Amino acid sequence: MTMTADINALIAQMAVALQPYLDRRPIMIGIHTGGTWIAQKLHQSLGLSDPLGALDISFYRDDFTRVGLNPQVKTSDLPESVDGRHIILVDDVLHTGRTIRAAMNEIFDYGRPESVVLAVLVERDGRELPIQADVVGQHCTLTPGQHIKLVGPEKLALKVLEDNA
């Protein structure tokens, strides 16, 4: 099932909500893979001067001892220093909160940022950690067994998948 949400409209709405953060000269960092797609669009529409960063949190996942290493690890690419900088962390879907925890652990290995805000395209139910987003494109509640997934990057679309699908 494809959700009818207009992704570009959601991103435009997120860009407006991020305006108050811009005078801090923030660094934007997208989380691989879906988060980087959203971050690219936000980075462009906000005209941020610092290059866009990308994080692959595979080396920081909390389920390594259970499921092993992601077979397709991408390279993390952060701006030279995050020390004392304000960071806008971008992901596609906020669900359990574990990805964000891993991402913050990784960012702090690059330095000590002044602040981190979280912007997500979709905020859904099912949090397992005390983590919430500061900027949200869309809130949604799914029935048990349902998952929401961003596909792209040519044409971004949100898909709802069923466990037994």
Partner 1 sequence: MTVADIQFDEQGQLKHFLTIEGLKRDHILQILDTAQSFITLAKKEIKKAPLLRGKTVVNLFFESSTRTRTTFEIAAKRLSADVINLNPQHSATSKGETLLDTVNNLEAMHTDLFVVRHPNSGAANLIAKHVPPHVRIINAGDGRHAHPTQAMLDMFTIRAHKGDVKNLQVAIVGDILHSRVARSQIHALTTLGAAQVRVIAPKTLLPTEVERLGVHPYTNMHEGLRDADVVIMLRLQRERMNGAFVPSEQEFFNLYGLTADKLAYAKQDAIVMHPGPMNRGLEIDSSVADGPQSVILPQVTYGIAVRMAIMALIMGGKPVARKRRTSGSTRGSNGTTST
Binding site residues, partner 1, CB under 8 A: 31-35, 56-61, 63-77, 83, 91-99, 105, 108-111, 124, 145, 147-152, 161, 163
Min. distance of Cβ 33 from partner 1 in angstroms? 5
The residue (of 68 and 130) whose beta carbon lies closer to partner 1 is 68
The residue (of 1 and 16) whose beta carbon lies closer to partner 1 is 1
The residue (of 46 and 103) whose beta carbon lies closer to partner 1 is 103
The residue (of 16 and 159) whose beta carbon lies closer to partner 1 is 159
Strands 135-140 and 115-124: parallel
The span from the CA of 134 to the CA of 157, in Å, is 22
Helices (H), the chain: 7-18, 34-46, 64-67, 98-110
Min. distance of Cβ 23 from partner 1 in angstroms? 26
Distances (CA, A) of 116 to 22, 106, 163: 13, 13, 33
